[in-house]
Amino acid sequence: MNENYMNEQANLPRPSRVLRNMALSFGVLTLILFGIIGYTAFSRARIIVTLGSVAKETSFRLTLAEDVFGRERPSDSLPVLFLETTDSASDTFVPSGEGERAGKTGGVVTLHNETDRNQPLVATTRLLTPDGVLFRIKESVNVPARATVTATAEADEEGAEGEIGPSRFTIPGLSPSLQAAIYATSDSPMVRGGALAKTVTEQDMETARQTLRQKLLEKSRQSFAAQVGEDKITTQDFVTEIVEEKSSAKAGAAVSSFTLEIKLKIVGVVFDKQEMLKSVAGGMGNQAGVPAADSVRYTIGNYNVIERSAVLSGRATIKSTADRQGSNFSRDNFVGSTPDEVKKFLKNYEGIENVEVQISPYWQRHLPRIPSRITVEFKES
């Protein structure tokens, strides 16, 4: 029994071996722990985003109001001054629709006399085509025997029927026996020499109105500018209303020209253009710049003479930068990503010109998995 006990004791691990194994395990765990602590303490990432400007077209709508004694102007309105007048203008315009020449057709005819006696013919002597179109010579002539003379002939009535080609004419006023020997011919087509008449279209009428309107607006602008300053009012700064209109022809009429007269009520709107631009930019948020004056197009309408107000609406091109507080720049988006993944993600957004990613320690291939170890910085291009 003592021998067995001694054998069992001999097979037990020696204390030095146990301690060595414990120390080795502790050392490995310590290294792992220090590695985790070191990664946490020293792993950093810096994302540098270069921002550029983005041109965006936006619509806007502003309320315009005049300061009126005893009434408070709305706080969200733009202060203005309304100047009113009434003026008239007229002019002559040429229609653009389909048309034809006005007046009767006419041309030169040759009168033939194959008899042995002279044949006098008075002015208005009738000449008849085989198709029954009637012409008349315009002057008296004497056609010698066995000879020919030329004369001017004109259609009996206006219309396209008189536009014929070269033809032979009988003279109905002569006896049937003479009509075969005394007759007329033409070598050229009969044409109308009057003014060209065209159909007045609705677009012709509207174009004429706008032409007169612009003429009156420029006249009023010069008058108002003399009162408030040349740079204070442009041809955009008006509200107009046609209060009376007279035309020598209506749409659908065929004329060579028509005269239009309009009487226009004109309201000039004077306001600070820079304040307008600031208001437009204010509606786009803090990242938007003030638009350039030449990028703004607007109209003024809804003029209320009692309330002394109007509405300005239009479109403007505004240059803005990306919102630095936007969710696309949240550090949570980048944890554990590679630099290429960060760049690809951010370049999907407008207004980002360049992305640079710096990671430390330098051998790290991924950004930290702790958001607080990532910083996002911005710079302007």
Q: Would 42 be classed as within a structural domain? A: no
Q: Would 22 be classed as within a structural domain? A: no
78-93 and 296-304 strand pairing = unpaired
Q: What's the CATH code of the domain at 155?
A: 2.40.30
- CA 358 from centre of chain: 46
Q: Would 92 be classed as within a structural domain? A: no
CB atoms within 10 A of CB 311: 16
> Which two three-digit tokens encode residue 212?
């007169």
> What distance in Å separates the CA atoms of residue 132 and residue 134, rounded to the nearest whole number?
6
| 35 contacts: CB under 8 Å, gap ≥ 6 | none
Q: Would 258 be classed as within a structural domain? A: no
Q: Would 163 be classed as within a structural domain? A: yes
- Residue the block writes with tokens 């969710």: 327
> What distance in Å separates the CA atoms of residue 12 and residue 343, rounded to the nearest whole number?
61
CB 186 within 8 A of CB 151: no
> Which two three-digit tokens encode residue 154?
């004109």
Burial of 260 (0-12, 13-18, 19+ CB in 10 A): buried
| 309 contacts: CB under 8 Å, gap ≥ 6 | 63, 64, 65, 66, 77, 302, 303
Q: Would 131 be classed as within a structural domain? A: yes
- Widest CA span of the chain, in angstroms? 182
- The counts of H helices and E strands in the chain are 6, 21
Q: Would 16 be classed as within a structural domain? A: no
- CA 113 from centre of chain: 70
Domain containing residue 160? 103-194
CB 300 within 8 A of CB 239: yes
Q: Would 187 be classed as within a structural domain? A: yes
> What distance in Å separates the CA atoms of residue 167 and residue 165, rounded to the nearest whole number?
6
Nearest to 151 by CA among 127, 180, 174: 127
CB atoms within 10 A of CB 289: 13
DSSP 3-state of 354 = strand
Nearest to 262 by CA among 85, 88, 84, 86: 88
For residue 176, whether the previous peptide bond is cis, meaning omega lies within 30 degrees of 0, is no
Q: What is the pLDDT along the chain (381 residues), one digit of tens a residue?
A: 455 555 555 555 555 666 666 666 666 666 666 555 555 556 899 999 988 877 778 888 999 999 888 788 888 889 999 999 999 999 999 888 877 666 788 899 999 999 999 999 999 999 999 999 999 999 999 999 999 999 999 999 887 788 899 999 999 999 999 999 999 999 989 887 655 678 899 999 999 999 999 999 999 999 999 999 888 898 889 999 999 999 999 998 888 789 999 999 999 999 998 888 888 877 665 555 666 667 788 999 999 999 999 999 999 887 777 778 888 889 999 998 999 999 999 988 888 889 999 998 888 888 998 898 889 999 887
CA dihedral defined by 355, 360, 366, 372, rounded to 10 degrees? Answer: -80
Quote the number of domains for the chain. 1
